[in-house]
Amino acid sequence: MSTARARIDSMRPSRPGPTRTAPPAMPDQFWTQGRYRGYVAFGACGFFLLTVGGLLLRAVWVLGNGDPAAWQALLESWANPIYVVFHAVSLLALVWFGLRFFRVFPKTQPPKIGPFPRPPDAFFAVALNGAFLAATALGVALLWGVLA
């Protein structure tokens, strides 16, 4: 085994400037392979965040018009099968998106959060899934009219 010191400048480019030979690119058909499927589906859920947010904006706008008939017409329009399918798919997609987000979340946290060490993954799992269940139950009860 050689004891010669490594030449740390041996890979230095001959001229100053960018050394990257090609821009980074995903392999062909990457989205059909292994974990990429879930990764791409997770990113594609951005479409549902955008559209559901946009439709909620429309609902609040109509509500702010102060016309009960227009509000009623909006709610009735959502009984259209196209809207029903879209909203059902959005619901399923966003629940899946949320559960995946909660699973990924601990891995994105630094070893120290402020002055405290990062809690164990089980803490994040309980806290995030618990918050999801509590917020959803509270929201359903409020919108359903169970809560005043």
**Interface residues with another protein (CB under 8 A)?**
23-26, 30-31, 40, 42-57, 59-61, 63-66, 68, 71-72, 75-79, 83-84, 87-88, 90-91, 94-95, 97-98, 101-102, 131-132, 135-140, 142-145
Rounded least distance, CB 13 to another protein, Å = 22
The C-alpha atoms of residue 15 and residue 140 are separated, in whole angstroms, by: 64
Q: Which of 43, 120 has the CB closer to another protein? A: 43
Is the CB of 9 or the CB of 28 nearer to another protein?
28
The answer to whether residues 97 and 63 touch, using CB atoms and an 8 Å cutoff, is: no
Alpha-carbon 15 to chain mean position: 43
Compute the distance between CA of residue 125 and CA of residue 109 in angstroms, rounded to an integer.
13
Query: Shortest approach of another protein to residue 57 CB, angstroms?
Result: 5
Listed residue (97, 144, 105, 145) closest to 126, CA to CA:
105
What long-range pairs does 10-14 form, CB within 8 A, spacing at least 24? none
Question: What is the nearest approach in angstroms of another protein to the Cβ of residue 9?
Answer: 30
Q: How far is the CB of 123 from another protein (least distance, A)?
A: 16
Nearer to another protein (CB atom), residue 4 or residue 69: 69
* Host H or E run for residue 67: none
